[in-house]
Amino acid sequence: MTILGSRTQHWADEADCEASARALAARPALRDAYVELHGPLGAGKTTFARHLLRALGVAGRVKSPTYAVMEPYELEGGMVWHFDFYRFNDAQEWEDAGFRDVFASRGLKLAEWPEKAEGLLPCPDLRIAIEPLANEARRVTLAAYTPRGLEILA
């Protein structure tokens, strides 16, 4: 995969994470994007996803999909699917769960731990890598792999 564009952000705290999520949520191209979230345990992938989902209009509790693998959200602007492949063990699970159909449909797909489903997932529009630093700080790299990703990154 070729990176078409990238930028790095520094989040001093969770407020910066939330501000970044709100800025991305304001991008119309995000509504039909596939976004991968990378980082070690505790990096803030789920926290970022929650802030993004809230900014997109999800009301009520935003659950982590760690055990369910996928949490769907129906919004006024379309569907959002939040995946967490951390416990993913078998490619057959992908087929059985109908994820191929979900990824082929319109709507935003957010995937935590996409490396656990490597070879099954399409090329991401945007890859967000979150690297923990001292205290609450994070170094965040956003990389666009498609024209849609570049549009989101702009």
Name the percent of the chain lying above pLDDT 90: 71
Helix (H) or strand (E) holding 102: helix 99-104
Q: Count the alpha carbons within 13 Å of 83 in the hemisphere toward its beta carbon.
A: 25
Q: Where are the domains of the chain?
A: 5-153
pTM, entire model: 0.93
Encode pLDDT of 30-68 as tens digits.
999 999 999 999 999 999 999 999 999 998 777 776 667
User: What CATH number does the domain located at 5-153 have?
Assistant: 3.40.50.300
pLDDT at residue 88 greater than cutoff 90 = no
Helix (H) or strand (E) holding 47: helix 45-56
Mean per-residue pLDDT over the chain, rounded: 91
Give Cα 83 distance to the centre of its chain: 8
**Rounded to whole angstroms, how far apart are CA atoms 22 and 45?**
15
**Rounded to whole angstroms, how far apart are CA atoms 56 and 71?**
15
Q: What is the pLDDT of residue 76?
A: 85
Average pLDDT over residues 130-134: 95
